[in-house]
Amino acid sequence: MFCINLDTTDPFFNLAVEEYLLKSSAEEYLILFVNKPSVIIGKHQSGHRETNTKYVTENQIPVIRRISGGGTVFHDLGNLNFSFISRSETGKQVDFRKYTRPVIDFLLSKGVDARFEGKNDLKVDGLKISGNSEHVHGNRVLHHGTLLFNASLEMLRDSIRKDVSCYTSRAVVSNPSSVINLKEKTACFQDIAELRSELMNYFLSNFTGNILYSLGQKEILAAASLADSKYKTWEWNWAYGPDYTFKNRFEMNNSFYTCTLFVKEGLITECSIEDSEQMKSISKKLAGCRHMVKELSDFFRNENIFLTDGDIFNFF
């Protein structure tokens, strides 16, 4: 197995590396990387329903769709990501316990009693330290997981939408869990860099055939191209998601409104804004507009309806 330490914290590039190596190589890999603050949603989720749109917009936190299913996770510089890419026997590709077992054993060797619980979580004393998901491609599987070391739990909680009652969809819903940082459970690592180094050394020392590997120029360019053409695009991150209905009643400019949006492939197909003749009239013009903060802000401005920066989030 080739063991890779990615030295970039670019979440778009790092997710692209996973997909490129999964689909363009026959080799097996372990990849360790850390991302800048970002919200990573599952392949079959709705971005706005999963994230606190106001918070991630105001804090310029990107929302990025991954190719695996499952729920939403938060990445930042205090979270270590691990990915396995391997060949798999037909019918046995999905195996969360297989790929989390060595991580559990590593933590146990450091005195941390981490346990596999539920469908795909690692927990310590009942608190989640790791979420995991998988994607099958032919006879190969991508398994990736998180390890919260000293992540900002405040940013994590603020980035994830708590009340999803405004949204109706068949999209996959996240299963929120109480989380904890590994730093609270062990003094073995001074920082995440040491955790990363120790985990890599564990894989290199305890498994025959594992060797340290660096991406070549061809692989770097291919992953960068995939990041640009897919992972940085609205079409993948927002339009790919399942259809949904958004309905909200809110107060704005001393009046109450009821807004209902129908969204398909990221575009508003129907819109109704009640309790104001002006808003009711222009709501019909929203058909075809992207359900995104900038696009709706521009739309209302062009209609000479001036909303505060906070008002626009009543539509998300």
pLDDT at 93 over 90: no
All residues at 6 or more sequence positions from 235 whose CB lies less than 8 Å from its CB, including other chains: 266
pLDDT digits (tens, 9 = 90+) for 166-220: 999 999 989 888 999 999 999 999 999 999 999 999 999 999 999 999 999 999 9
At the second CATH level, the architecture of 244-315 is: 2-Layer Sandwich (3.30)
- What pLDDT is attached to residue 108? 96
Average pLDDT over residues 54-73: 97
User: How many other C-beta atoms can be found within 10 angstroms of the C-beta atom of residue 180?
Assistant: 17
Cα separation, 296 vs 279, whole angstroms: 13
pLDDT digits (tens, 9 = 90+) for 121-145: 999 999 999 999 999 999 999 999 9
* CATH 3.30.930.10 location in the chain: 2-235
All residues at 6 or more sequence positions from 207 whose CB lies less than 8 Å from its CB, including other chains: 1, 102
CA 32 centroid distance within chain: 16
| DSSP H helices in 110-254 | 153-159, 192-206, 217-226, 234
pLDDT grade, residue 88 (50/70/90)? confident
Burial (0-12, 13-18, 19+ Cβ within 10 Å), 154: exposed
Average pLDDT over residues 27-48: 98
pLDDT grade, residue 256 (50/70/90)? very high
pLDDT at 89 over 90: no
Fold of 2-235: BirA Bifunctional Protein; domain 2 (3.30.930)
pLDDT grade, residue 39 (50/70/90)? very high
pLDDT grade, residue 83 (50/70/90)? very high
| Closest listed residue to residue 5, CA positions, set 37, 35, 30 | 30
- What pLDDT is attached to residue 145? 96
Q: How far is CA 58 from CA 44, 52, 146, 190, 239, in A?
A: 25, 10, 25, 32, 21
| Closest listed residue to residue 2, CA positions, set 31, 25, 38 | 31
Do the beta carbons of residue 195 and residue 5 sit within 8 Å? no
- What pLDDT is attached to residue 119? 87
* CATH 3.30.390.50 location in the chain: 244-315
First to last CA, the chain: 44
User: How many other C-beta atoms can be found within 10 angstroms of the C-beta atom of residue 187?
Assistant: 9
Do the beta carbons of residue 77 and residue 192 sit within 8 Å? yes
Average pLDDT over residues 245-257: 92
pLDDT grade, residue 275 (50/70/90)? confident
pLDDT at 107 over 80: yes
How does the average pLDDT of the chain come out, rounded? Answer: 95
- What pLDDT is attached to residue 253? 82
- What pLDDT is attached to residue 72? 96
The token duo for 260 is 């209902």
The answer for 266, left when phi > 0, alpha when psi is -120 to 50, beta otherwise, is left
Do the beta carbons of residue 277 and residue 287 sit within 8 Å? no
| Closest listed residue to residue 150, CA positions, set 110, 114, 186 | 186
- What pLDDT is attached to residue 90? 78
